[in-house]
Amino acid sequence: MVQTSAPGKVILFGEHAVVYGESAIALAVSLRFRMRVETRTSNRARSHRVDGRRVDTGHHAYFAHALAANWTGAPLEMRTRSEIPSASGMGSSAALAVSLLGALTELGGGSIEGEGARERIARAAFETEYSVQGRASPTDTSTAAFGQGVLLAKQAMPGLLMHVQRGAAEWYVHSIKVPRLNIVVGYTGEKSGTADMVGKVRKAYERSAFIRDTVKEIGKVTMEGLTALEREDVARLGELMDRNHQLLYNLGVSHPKLDRLVAAARPYSHGAKLTGKGGGGSMVAITDEPEEVARAIKAAGGEPYIAKIGAPGVSRDGD
């Protein structure tokens, strides 16, 4: 039996644009997806089970895809426990895929801490997300696998972890220093599907030069955000987050509730924007007054969470 966990994340810059090969910056948060996996002992057991139910592609798409591509052993009994609200834009599906692949590594006799293991887990989890969602970037899966801070860029820079290519898009995945920031996440309570939101942007991207320019502009804002992070210039960082929110709004992935929470947080924040897929889900603010921001988000109808950033990546937990 093995127990593993992997962190959720917030994207500070670059969601959606990163799917087209632009840059993005994500930070692991201290909320984790936890998994307990063992082989089923009964000789009659034929199928994998999750939380007492037989794995089927409809209900358990991530499990079904990850197992089909990465497990040839005996049927598995899997138990899950998540601290990350599902469909919230905080990366619960990536954390699920990464903690499962971590468990498969350990069950197969390997170790998550072994040479190159995190990279293999990150790559396999990206393939899982890609096949379930039809299109994806390695942002969430890399952050769940490696933890801390992650930058996806168009070229290799210091801190390079791996290079990933998929069709016309390629990404250089890096580890970055976790900034000293107070981060508050506000969940709208509106669930939205990553595949739906990514598909919506894809249609617009194929049709409209304005959308293609917006995607490029988000990439530029992300790289300016990296400079502001390195200089610990929170005022500039905040301005760029506000700008990124406007650009995501222009892409059509905001939601009235997201706009409301962003507006409520701004008077007490350096900057605020939606984070993740949008269309509902969550927003993120950076601030010197986290309690005030949390109160404003709550008053505007959202669920605030004062996020601890810089969590470790996938790990084997105590049995």
137 binds ligand PMV (CB under 6 A): yes
16 binds ligand PMV (CB under 6 A): yes
Give the integer Cα–Cα distance in Å for 158 and 153.
Answer: 11
Determine the distance from the C-alpha atom of residue 19 to the mean position of all C-alpha atoms in its chain, rounded to a whole number: 12
Q: What separation in angstroms does the CA of 40 have from each of 6, 47, 49, 75?
A: 23, 9, 9, 6
Looking at 147, 186, 271, 276, which residue binds ligand PMV (CB under 6 A)? 276
Looking at 3, 5, 7, 18, which residue binds ligand PMV (CB under 6 A)? 18
Q: Is 239 helix (H, G, I), strand (E, B) or coil?
A: helix
> What residue type is assigned to position 155 of the chain?
Q
Smallest distance from the beta carbon of 277 to ligand PMV, in angstroms?
3
Looking at 219, 281, 302, 310, which residue binds ligand PMV (CB under 6 A)? 281
140 belongs to the catalytic site: yes
279 binds ligand PMV (CB under 6 A): no
Torsion-angle region of 227 (φ positive above 0: left; ψ -120 to 50: alpha; else: beta): alpha
Which of the ranges 29-37, 132-140, 207-215, 226-234 carries the binding residues for ligand PMV, by CB under 6 A? 132-140
User: Which residue in this structure is represented by tokens 């069950």?
Assistant: 107
What does the block give as tokens for 34? Answer: 């936890």
Residue with smallest beta-carbon separation from ligand PMV: 276
Which residues between 78 and 107 bind ligand PMV (CB under 6 A)? 89, 91
Other CB atoms closer than 10 Å to residue 29's CB: what's the count? 26
3 binds ligand PMV (CB under 6 A): no
Give the integer Cα–Cα distance in Å for 82 and 89.
Answer: 14
Nearer to ligand PMV, 270 or 277 (CB): 277
- List residues binding ligand PMV (CB under 6 A): 15-16, 18-19, 89, 91, 136-137, 139-140, 194, 198, 276-277, 281
